[in-house]
Structure 1
Amino acid sequence: MASTPPTGFKRLPDSERKLPASAHIVGPVNPDEHLEVSVYLRAPAGERAGDNASQYAQQPGPRMSRQEYAARYSASPDDLAKIEAFAQAHNLKVVEEDPASRRIVLAGTAAAMMQAFAVELQRYAYKGGVFRGRVGHLHLPTELEPLVAGVFGLDDRPQAQPRFRYGNSTTRFPLANTDTVSYTPPQLAKLYEFPQGLDGSGECIALIELGGGYSEQDLATYFKQLGIPTPQVTTVSVDGGENKPEGDPRGADAEVDLDIEIAGAIAPKARIVVYFAPNTDRGFLDAITQALHDTTNNPSVISISWGAPESSWTSQAMQAMDQAFQTAATLGITICCAAGDNGSGDGASDQLAHVDFPASSGYVLGCGGTRLSSSNGKITAEVVWNDTTAGGGATGGGVSENFALPSWQTDAHVPLSINNQHAGRGVPDVAGNADPQTGYQIYVDGQSTVIGGTSAVAPLWAGLIALINQKRGQAIGFLNPFLYKNYQQLTQNKALYDVTSGNNGAYTAGTGWDACTGLGTPVGTQLLNTLITSQS
């Protein structure tokens, strides 16, 4: 069924799945297993949600409210009715409809799902676990294929990895001053000259988490040690995901606590909303779309510290997420994404260069990593994070094989891919301290520890953006075009520090943008002043 569509069906473009090299089949799925899938529809005829994204982003700030977006880009009643009829004809039940995100959730048995989408599902052993998977394309009735952007949830293999790295330090926490090899988030905020007198009041920072959890006691302990009021943290369950601490400080709990504690320490009065979802392409996508269209919490910045090499995603998943990020630009929501912790290869085993997705989307702020040195409360040096010689990881970065060079990056001198001389989106856009040997002091599962990785850089920038939003009185939104268009002014104003030393394997840092640290690291107050001045 996977290779030849049955009569009346068409192959769903870009839905092809391949198996990981180390996966092997262990047997068929139980035909009575209950499954849920998310069906995403294309924008209504004549409307594309991304058409005006770059236009909206020429000046930072929101250009369309969530209500205005829903009125223009919601799924049409006719399209929804066609999917409902399809579900009924194939013994599936519609359990949720969200017209604004154009998402319909269908439920039914595995047997019904296989028949509805003309696909075969098997169970596969992989990395010590078992997942439900498929090979080849999905299929849809011919009349529905033009309406559907993607179908997610049939394959539940783990999709992404958290982008944090543990340091080797066993130093007790908290440390006394900034002349150390690890830092509290407020110490780094001071070193990066984040604006003073701001606390994120009135802002909401969304965090996307695909596993693990946090305890309120751990957060209370951590912020008490910092002398900062514990921020308001709430959770949202997506596709059955939940705040579920594993009790392993070296597992996914570390990612969750890292994100909350960095963002919360930088912007303690901002509301932090954690969207927990299963670690699948469906869970990842649904969490992002739920955050974007959340009219209750209204996040203005989203931090994502999970990712995987572009080569491990289906094209339909990357396109659907990229479409969601275009929606974010339209709504004036900033997306900060970790650029990866495995150097220019991004952990792939084929000896080629790879960039991490979702950081490689042209509608997110890709966050790379540095190694920071300081003395007497001032930064004395900053170089590309690369500890690969000691097995300690390195910042991701490079040239996308899937996304074209954005118009706002055309003057950044992004090199051609070393793989095939292909022109593409350059990653990352900005950077921050990420080396675990100069890492972040956090508290996870009852233990004080030091963690680094580009996972830390995404919430660091998200916290800074929350402060900027608070001062401006308006969300800054899609920041990339402004940063690249005004790069000379930003460097003249010393709003960005250009990191020019080091490499991440295939790519080397240099003057201006590079595929290791992007445009550089923040000088927060000057960045804020430049943004305000540019709009006065």
Structure 2
Amino acid sequence: MASKKSSGMFSKRTILPGSEKAALVHPAAEDVTPPRLTPVTVSVIVKRKTPLKASHRSGKERLTHAQYRKEHAADPAAVKLVKAFAKEFDLKIDPDTPGPERRTILLTGTVDQMQKAFGTTLSHKKVDGVTYRVREGSIEIPTALSGSVVAVLGLDNRPQAKPHFRIAGEAGAATADAVQQEGFARPHASGSVSYTPIQVAELYQFPAKASAAGQTIGIIELGGGYKKADITAYFKSLGVKAPKVTAVLVDKAKNKPTNANSADGEVLLDIEVAGAVAPGANIVVYFTPNTDQGFVDAISTAVHDTKNKPSVISISWGAPEVQWTAQSMNALDAACQSAAALGITITVASGDNGSTDGVTDGANHVDFPASSPHVLGCGGTNLQGSGSTINSETVWNALPSGGASGGGVSNFFPLPSWQSGAGVPKPTVAAGGRGVPDVAGDADPATGYEVRVDGANYVFGGTSAVAPLWAGLIALANAQNGTSAGFLQTALYSAKGKAAFRDITQGDNPAFQAGTGWDGCTGLGSPIAPQIISLIKPATTSGKKVATKVAKKSTKKIVAVKK
């Protein structure tokens, strides 16, 4: 669908690689007359000025934010092209367009303008009473933009991901049934035991009375909200000082708490687990719309947040790889690569639907973004113990109705070098190979976490709890080690890493069986916290220190010349 105005350099079209989107299949979907004049804002992501080196992506060579912005921000020529393209198609540069380090240009226009600009058709469908803007097929961009534009997100605003939490027991059944209608959790069979996050931390030998003061834990949320009264009451019940919690709103999202029938459960679970196991840490919650655009924008916002400066980011949302477009996965993974280069760790829940990840095609699937090779994928266990003694720990598997640890082999991301000796099974698609998860922790609602949501107490499980648990441990490590851990996998998968894990050798999920070493249920295992803290202390020097050393050497040379 070419524009009548299109001429010259923007007249020839090409398909944007990876933009193909499957048709909406929903028995209750109703066609709705599209609101042609309603403004639509898309995120156009452009290439970097200079690609990140492998040493940056693996965290071996860290960059300061200033170094990153100077060398790896948006390519100026690409930005110039996109601005000319926007003018050609009467699209406006949104005033909220972020700095060049985000490589994102926000363009706003009507539905008609967007269709002409991106060679696509946008329809509107009502599903369960909510109207969504739907894009199917590919995006066409002017050939002049080919190679400069790597993703166009936001034309379709259907929900992209689900939170990975589950509510335990009969007390949560009514709530969970209501939440499930929104695509969230199912109740587990009546829970047999529950712990506070502090008790889980004690079982994993988190250092007693340790403080994460000076650290900031970022949390990505695609819905829901929190009430300060819940946080105050919860931490008072634990006898722990409540953390400072700040909301950062991305893409016009809101901190919008409603009731326990919403994603509030995810938000409070993340805050309460992270805050309880890493006392003293500040927590920043990045709220964003539940779209691929919102997800990518929130992560890149957190990674480049030089005001709050999170050293670790926790994500408990995701969806099967097959439910993402390639451009979305590549764009989100690129944001995670930036985190690795800047010394920021990202922990991600591996999903709660076992080896199929809830897909009913008879094949195995893994959850994204847990499958990104630049994040720490977090699987789930059933944890039995008291005090500091673990009596047993097995793979969380309460299928068919109670959930199980997500894990397996990516069909999108290849096997990383640091995982080459881990014994990851071969992928079913040649392009894949990355094994999921990397690590594990208590996730079974039958051995779940005591949390407070919207004025009521529940027991929650799911791999949603494991991501903030590991984020809290990493924040403690960062405080104790005096530097951020950054990209962890090279250290975790090293020979020295074996002593830092409790190897989970019993259970399945069900396609993958637990065993000695890495497995597709629980990764390397659950943490032995003191050894993890020692293991992940970086041996590399940050870009800032490198720059300082270079400056000192230069000064010495100058002084020598003067003498």
Q: 2: CA distance between counterparts of 1:55 and 1:366?
A: 16
2:247 paired residue among 235, 240, 264: 235
**1:165 and 2:166 equivalent?**
yes
Aligned to 1:209: 221
2:158 counterpart SS class = coil
Q: How does 1:48-59 map to 2 (within 5 A)?
A: 48-49=51-52, 51-57=54-60
Contact 1:49 1:323 in 2 (8 A): no
Q: Which residue of 2 aligns with 1:432?
A: 441
How far is the alpha carbon of 1:481 from its aligned partner?
Answer: 1.2
Partner of 1:412 in structure 2? Answer: 422
- Tell me what 1:395 maps to: 405
Quote the offset at 1:33 in angstroms: 1.1
Which structure is higher in RCO with an 8 Å CA cutoff and minimum separation 6? 1
Q: CA RMSD in A?
A: 2.1
User: Which amino acid is 1:48 matched to?
Assistant: P
2:18 corresponds to which letter in structure 1?
Answer: D
What does residue 17 of structure 2 align with?
13
Shift in Å, 1:209: 0.2
1:368 equivalent to 2:369? Answer no
In structure 2, the residue matched to 1:94 is 93
TM-score normalised by L of structure 1 = 0.92
Is 1:490 the counterpart of 2:497 in the alignment? yes
User: Is 1:114 matched up with 2:124?
Assistant: no
Distance 1:535 1:180, change over 3 A: farther
Equivalent position of 2:505 in the other structure: 500
Q: Which has the larger radius of gyration?
A: 2
For 1:253 and 1:425, the matched residues in 2 are separated by 32
1:345 and 2:356 aligned: yes
Tell me how far 1:459 sits from its aligned partner.
Answer: 0.1
Deviation of 1:139 after TM superposition, in Å, equals 1.2
CA distance in 1, matches of 2:289, 2:538: 43
CA distance in 2, matches of 1:386, 1:397: 12
Q: Is the 8 A contact 2:194 2:459 kept in 1?
A: yes
**Is 1:41 matched up with 2:46?**
yes
1:95-494 aligned within 5 A:
95=94, 96-168=97-169, 170=171, 181-247=193-259, 249-389=260-400, 391-417=401-427, 419=428, 424-486=433-495, 489-491=496-498, 493=499
What is the rounded CA distance, in whole Å, between the counterparts of 1:50 and 1:26 in structure 2?
Answer: 47
TM-fit CA distance, 1:377: 3.8
Q: 1:128 to 1:508 in 2, by over 3 A?
A: farther
Q: CA deviation at 1:126?
A: 3.4
Equivalent-residue separation in structure 2 for 1:439 and 1:55 (angstroms)? 34
Q: Secondary structure at the match of 2:44?
A: strand
Q: Deviations over 1:111-142 (max 9, x none)?
A: 11111111110012335533101111111111
Residue 82 of structure 1 deviates from its aligned partner by 1.7
2-structure distance, mates of 1:395, 1:9:
44
Query: 1:513: how far off?
Result: 0.2
Aligned to 2:362, what secondary structure does the other structure show? coil
Paired amino acid for 2:497: L
Q: Is the 8 A contact 2:119 2:140 kept in 1?
A: yes
The answer to whether the Cα contact below 8 Å between 2:250 and 2:298 also exists between their aligned partners in 1 is yes
For the structure 1 residues 215 and 237, does the alpha-carbon distance in structure 2 shift closer, same or farther, using more than 3 Å as the test? same
Between stretches 264-273 and 122-131, larger displacement belongs to 122-131
8 Å contact from structure 2 (residues 40, 111) kept in 1:
yes
Q: How many angstroms apart in 1 are the aligned matches of 2:538 and 2:12? A: 59
Partner of 1:176: none
Distance 1:366 1:97 in 2: 28
Aligned mates of 2:218, 2:440 — CA distance in 1? 20
1:214 Cα deviation (Å)?
0.4
Contact 2:234–2:451 (CA under 8 A) maintained in structure 1: yes
Distance 1:299 1:108 in 2: 33
Equivalent pair of 2:119/2:141 in contact (CA under 8 Å): yes
- 1:63-102 matches, cutoff 5 A: 63-95=62-94, 96-102=97-103
Letter of the 2:230 counterpart: D
Structure 2 distance, partners of 1:301, 1:515, is 24
Deviation at 1:499, TM superposition (A): 0.2
Native 8 Å contact 1:169 1:437 kept in 2: no
C-alpha distance in structure 1 between counterparts of 2:215 and 2:431, whole Å: 40
Partners in 1 of 2:128 and 2:518 — Cα distance? 37
CA deviations on 1:145-204 (whole Å, 9 max, x unpaired) are: 220010111100000000001111649xxxxxxx97100010011010012332211101
- Give 1:272 deviation, angstroms: 0.3
| CA deviation after TM superposition for structure 1 residue 421, in Å | 7.8
SS in 2 for 1:182: strand
Equivalent residue letter for 2:476:
L
2:304 and 2:362 mapped to 1: Cα distance?
Answer: 39
What secondary structure does 2:42 align onto?
A: strand
In structure 1, list runs of 5 or more residues that go unmatched: 172-178
Give CA deviations for 1:504-526 in whole Å, capped at 9, x if unaligned: 02111111000000000001012
AA paired with 1:73? H
Q: How many angstroms does 1:531 deviate by?
A: 3.9
Contact 1:368 1:428 in 2 (8 A): yes
Question: Percent of aligned pairs with the same residue?
Answer: 49
Q: Secondary structure at the match of 1:36?
A: strand
Distance 1:114 1:272, change over 3 A: same
Change (3 A) 1:127 1:403: farther
Corresponding letter in the other structure for 2:409? V
